[in-house]
Amino acid sequence: MSDPGSVSGGTGLEASAAAGVDQLSHVDDSSQKQKKPRSLWSDAWGELRRKPTFIISLVIIAVIVLMAIWPTLFTSVDPRAANLDKSLQPPSGDAWFGYDLQGYDVYARAMHGARASLLVGIFATVLTVLIGSIIGIFAGYAKTWIDSVLSRFADIFAGIPFVLGAIVILTTLNAPTENPSVTRIITQVVLSIAVLSWPVAMRIMRSATLVAKQQDYVKAARGLGASPLRIVIRHLLPNTVAPVLVYATIALGAFIGAEATLAFLGIGLRPPVVSWGVMISESRDYFQSAPHMLLFPAGFVTITVLAFVMLGDAVRDALDPKSR
Amino acid sequence: MSRSRVAWVALPAALALTLSACGGGGGGTTSSGNENPDGTVSIYGTEPENQLLPAATTEAGGSKIVDALYSRLVGYKAEDGSTYNLMAESITTSDAKVYDIKIKSGWTFHDGTPVKAKNFVDAWNYGAYAKNAQQAGTFFAPIAGYSDVHPDDEKAEPTKDKMSGLEVVSDTEFKVTLSAPNSVFKTMIGYTPFSPLPDSFFADPKAFEAKPIGNGPMKFVSRTPNALIKLERFDDYKGEDKVHFKTLDVKIYSSQETAYQDLVAGKLDFMEALPPSAKVGEKYKADLGDQVLNANLLGQSAIAFPLYVPAFQNVKLRQAVSMALNREQITKTVLAGSYVPADGFVPPGIEGYEKGVCGEFCTYNPEKAKQLLQESGFTGKLTIQSNQDGGRKEPLEAACNSIKQALGIECEFVGATNFGAYRQIVNGKQLTGMGRSDWSADYPSIENFLNPLYRTGGSSNDSNYSNAEVDKILKEADATADSAAAIKKYQEAHKLIAKDLPSIPTWNEKGIGARSKNLLAAKLTFTRDAELAAFRVKG
């Protein structure tokens, strides 16, 4: 299981974010001399189009997103229709992934499980990036003492081990006798992931802002009397958002893994919700006699995480001018 | 029995807590070969939690040893848990309230001192006295004067140190007066806390703890903490349950899996339960073949309808749900054959069990179920609540699916994180749907499957069931001195309860143990223990 704290983004991204922003201005300057002015983004796009890893990961992600939106495109079987006569049957022509203990079709459940897993991943990422970016850009741009306070505050959260933190949060929010509703539990899982992961996004944003703040065009804008809000939105944000986006892509994969981890521990999503993590948690006792119950949902988690990490890597390479 | 001793099954292993008696259960296996009467048998054990005193230990690891070291007034018969006189010469009563107990003379403790009536009375008083803080102290609660030596309020000082209901008449006779008529007292005294203790214990308890002296078929030799407890045959033993081997090695394991590997390899001779991994796909059958041992257990699984939820007051709905449950299929698949479908509120293998008391209402019949559901007029969603750990979720989720398919209404399993949390919901009468209500009896008597569960205000009456007629018959049965007549009364109550269906019987656990190739024969008891007297070692 993955720990989003260890997302390859972390400190590496932070350093490259600073360097990247430093280079940005030069790229912009030099592009003036070319016939057709090209922005960082169109440059990156040209680079990405030629990368096979980018294409492959994009295709995988597209399929999984489609699965999440219209699972019925892939299967007509009800994921909650149990047939005990088929309990633990291995993969066959009728059920490509076999049946689980309750006689549910594993293939149908894997298709329907994409939605919950992906929803948690997307919401957690959006929330992490939003909180992290806002606090990061504020800390980077603001005067030093606010920066120090915010950074130390983030360090507190960064210091909590992810799994331990999530266990504490989720078990505190739900008394053992309670049976939280589906939306409530999804919200809680998303919130606990975001609360424990935002410092990474914040650090990346902060270091990018610190560098961008020193650029001449920012100083010029300030000299012309632009308001801080305008400087942040018009000048800083466009030049600092790239490293955070790279982090977000990689983190999305990691958060899907985190969902599976929490469900496995019995504190994340739980039945009757169907998610890959729930499927893995249900199959742990039957691995010896029915390995297909575990291997297929685990495979989906792995492939999805891999696709997002690959995508993130490709985007980072394309956005980092130094690597060209 | 007080609430604290009520053994609700949290984990299958908890079943083993309830009783540890010298009795026999279902199946044994034998194979031909020469017998070695002085052989060694090694059995699976867990580190005892407390000292090896009869009333100090209630958990499986310790009671296994205590059971071998001490013999009680009565023993339990292999077939149905009915009692026979072991140390008792006779137990007579006219009103099920005052019992006159005569003991056999000529029995001695392992140190050679004779076993007298006084040894029983002293041991029982010691066990009940609150200040001695014996785990099984509450087992003495039916005896008159118990509240004086063990007040309900834990902080209160006991006013006396002897129960007024116990009276020594002579060296071989004593009288027990109960606080209320109780026809199953004769059965209860087969349980380990009712063992006698020698005078040497009262002289020096500390020294005794290090080397316990009992009156049972085995005597204590040595103990290596967390590794081994060695017992040896007591050659002057007078009881019927003499053992046919010399040394008993109780090997302490921290993992059932390891023990299972040793058993398959022939390094361990007996296990009373098998690890879950061996049960999946019935792997143990391939590993062990005819070395597998089976027994009926004292457990009864059921799903209770909380009658304080208005919808469940409709008996037709209760019947519909019960008939929508495919017990046969669930026990075979999800429960991997370690349970058998239940056909009443009392498990087979209990004296007084009758076949098919629940009748057609406990037989899978989706058409009839659907018809009954329509008649009941119920629409909406059903839920089954339980703790979800310890493998409790899977069979109940399957039960819900079975109900859903047969009745065409929604059914959902609702899990609480752990057993304690779930019992909190049940005891607080906060069930909103059906709830798991598995019962493991404290002693092998039909009474223990009815009184605590279905009597108005019973300690574990999860359904909040109340039927004046049932209460009346149960009360009469309790006060009937003749045990055969008492059982008839209990059976009558059982049938009335089956008509009302306050909970639906689901399945009964089958004990599955195994012996090694080194043994010619072994037997598993209904208490999920080894029947020591049945061991035969290969020569």
Residue among B27, B126, B118 at smallest CA distance from B79: B27
Q: Could you report the per-residue pLDDT of B457-476, keeping only the tens digit for each?
A: 887 888 999 999 999 999 88
Q: Best residue in B257, B277, B280, B404 to probe A by mutation, most A CBs within 10 Å?
A: B280
DSSP reduced 3-state for A127: helix
Q: Which two tokens stand for residue A268?
A: 């994340």
- The residues in A 165-194 lying below 8 A from B, measured between CB atoms, are 175-177, 179
Q: Please report which confidence band the pLDDT of residue A292 belongs to, taking 50, 70 and 90 as the band edges.
A: confident
pLDDT of residue B257: 83
CA distances from B296 to B25, B63, B319, B512 (A): 7, 19, 27, 9
pLDDT at A187 over 80: yes
Residue among A261, A284, A307 at smallest CA distance from A162: A261
B388 touches chain A (CB under 8 A): yes
Q: Are B193 and B330 part of one and the same domain?
A: no
pLDDT of residue A1: 41
Q: Are B338 and B446 part of one and the same domain?
A: yes
pLDDT of residue B501: 92
Helix ranges restricted to H, B348-392: 366-376
Residues of B within 8 A of A103 (CB-CB) are: 333, 401
Q: Please report which confidence band the pLDDT of residue B125 belongs to, taking 50, 70 and 90 as the band edges.
A: very high
How many domains does chain A contain in total? Answer: 1
pLDDT of residue B457: 82
Are residues A272 and B412, on separate chains, in Cβ contact within 8 Å? yes
- The residues in B 390-409 lying below 8 A from A, measured between CB atoms, are 391, 393-394, 397-398, 401-402, 404-405
- How high is the ipTM of this complex? 0.72
Whether residue B339 is contained in a domain is answered as: yes
Are residues A271 and B277, on separate chains, in Cβ contact within 8 Å? no
Answer for the pair A21, A239: CB distance below 8 angstroms, yes or no.
Answer: yes
d(CA B45, CA B60): 8
Whether residue A34 is contained in a domain is answered as: no
Of the residues B150, B184, B210, which one is the last residue of a structural domain?
Answer: B210
A285 touches chain B (CB under 8 A): yes
Domain that holds residue B167: 47-210
Across the range B10-15, mean pLDDT stands at: 34
Helix ranges restricted to H, B50-151: 60-69, 117-128, 146-149
pLDDT at B99 over 70: yes
pLDDT of residue B9: 35
Provide the shortest C-alpha distance from residue B423 to chain A (in Å). 9
Q: Please report which confidence band the pLDDT of residue A37 belongs to, taking 50, 70 and 90 as the band edges.
A: low
pLDDT at A34 over 70: no
pLDDT of residue A178: 65
Q: Which two tokens stand for residue B433?
A: 């749907």
Q: Could you report the per-residue pLDDT of B486-508, keeping only the tens digit for each?
A: 899 999 999 999 999 999 999 99
DSSP reduced 3-state for A223: helix
Provide the shortest C-alpha distance from residue B489 to chain A (in Å). 39
pLDDT of residue A191: 92
* Mean confidence (pLDDT) of chain A: 81
Q: Are B188 and B326 part of one and the same domain?
A: no
Residues of A within 8 A of B422 (CB-CB) are: 177
d(CA B348, CA B346): 7
d(CA B373, CA B195): 52
Say which CATH number the domain at A241 has. 1.10.3720.10
Q: Write out the DSSP string of A228-279.
A: HHHIIIIIIHHHHHHHHHHHHHHHHHHHHHHHHHHHHTTSSS-TTS--HHHH
d(CA B215, CA B195): 9
Cα Rg for chain B, rounded, in angstroms? 23
Across the range B12-22, mean pLDDT stands at: 34
Q: Best residue in B330, B411, B413, B417 to probe A by mutation, most A CBs within 10 Å?
A: B417
Across the range A287-303, mean pLDDT stands at: 86
d(CA B396, CA B380): 19
Residue A271 vs residue B273, higher pLDDT: B273
pLDDT at B325 over 70: yes
CA distances from B525 to B80, B196, B522 (A): 10, 23, 10
Across the range A84-96, mean pLDDT stands at: 79
Provide the shortest C-alpha distance from residue B324 to chain A (in Å). 14
Of the residues B160, B180, B210, which one is the last residue of a structural domain?
Answer: B210
pLDDT at B32 over 90: no
d(CA B268, CA B266): 5
pLDDT of residue B33: 65
pLDDT of residue A213: 86
Domain that holds residue A243: 61-319
% of chain B with per-residue pLDDT over 70: 93
d(CA B193, CA B137): 8
Q: Best residue in A78, A80, A83, A84 to probe B by mutation, most B CBs within 10 Å?
A: A84
Nearest to A101 among B329, B334, B389 (CB): B334
Whether residue B144 is contained in a domain is answered as: yes
pLDDT of residue B160: 86
Q: Show contacts of B45-49: CB within 8 Å, 24+ apart.
A: B45/B229, B45/B250, B45/B251, B45/B252, B45/B253, B46/B252, B46/B253, B47/B225, B47/B226, B47/B252, B48/B229
Across the range B258-282, mean pLDDT stands at: 86
pLDDT of residue A15: 54
pLDDT of residue B62: 85
Residues of A within 8 A of B425 (CB-CB) are: 177
* Mean confidence (pLDDT) of chain B: 85
Whether residue A24 is contained in a domain is answered as: no
Across the range B79-89, mean pLDDT stands at: 83
The H or E element containing residue B102 is strand B98-103
Residue among B80, B510, B520 at smallest CA distance from B290: B520
Q: Could you report the per-residue pLDDT of A67-80, keeping only the tens digit for each?
A: 989 888 888 888 88
- The greatest distance separating any two alpha carbons of chain B, rounded to the nearest whole angstrom, comes to 72
pLDDT at B60 over 80: no
Nearest to A82 among B389, B391, B401 (CB): B401
Whether residue B464 is contained in a domain is answered as: yes
Spell out the residues 6+ positions from residue A264 whose beta carbon is closer than 8 angstroms to its own: A1, A277, A280, A281, A284
pLDDT of residue A13: 53
A82 touches chain B (CB under 8 A): yes
Are residues A271 and B415, on separate chains, in Cβ contact within 8 Å? yes
Residue type (1 letter), B15 = L
Are residues B334 and A87, on separate chains, in Cβ contact within 8 Å? yes
Ranges A5-14, A28-37, A144-153, most confident? A144-153
pLDDT at B102 over 90: yes
The H or E element containing residue B299 is strand B299-300
Q: Are B493 and B369 part of one and the same domain?
A: yes
pLDDT at B11 over 50: no
Say which CATH number the domain at B463 has. 3.10.105.10
pLDDT of residue B16: 35
pLDDT of residue A307: 92
Q: Please report which confidence band the pLDDT of residue B131 belongs to, taking 50, 70 and 90 as the band edges.
A: confident
Q: Are B189 and B313 part of one and the same domain?
A: no
Q: Are B320 and B432 part of one and the same domain?
A: yes
% of chain A with per-residue pLDDT over 70: 85
Say which CATH number the domain at B176 has. 3.90.76.10
Whether residue B232 is contained in a domain is answered as: no
Are residues B394 and A101, on separate chains, in Cβ contact within 8 Å? yes
Provide the shortest C-alpha distance from residue A242 to chain B (in Å). 43
Among A51-65, B184-198, B267-281, B319-333, the least confident range: B267-281
Are residues B280 and A289, on separate chains, in Cβ contact within 8 Å? yes
pLDDT at B25 over 70: no
B412 touches chain A (CB under 8 A): yes
Across the range A195-209, mean pLDDT stands at: 91
Q: Could you report the per-residue pLDDT of B147-176, keeping only the tens digit for each?
A: 889 887 777 888 888 999 999 999 999 999
Spell out the residues 6+ positions from residue A17 whose beta carbon is closer than 8 angstroms to its own: A204, A207, A208, A211, A240, A242, A243, A244
Whether residue A241 is contained in a domain is answered as: yes
B418 touches chain A (CB under 8 A): yes
How many domains does chain B contain in total? Answer: 2
Whether residue B253 is contained in a domain is answered as: no
Residues of B within 8 A of A180 (CB-CB) are: none
Residue at token pair 């003379």: B105
Provide the shortest C-alpha distance from residue B507 to chain A (in Å). 17
Are residues B283 and A176, on separate chains, in Cβ contact within 8 Å? no
Q: Are B401 and B503 part of one and the same domain?
A: yes
Q: Could you report the per-residue pLDDT of A124-166, keeping only the tens digit for each?
A: 999 999 999 999 988 888 878 888 999 999 999 988 898 899 9
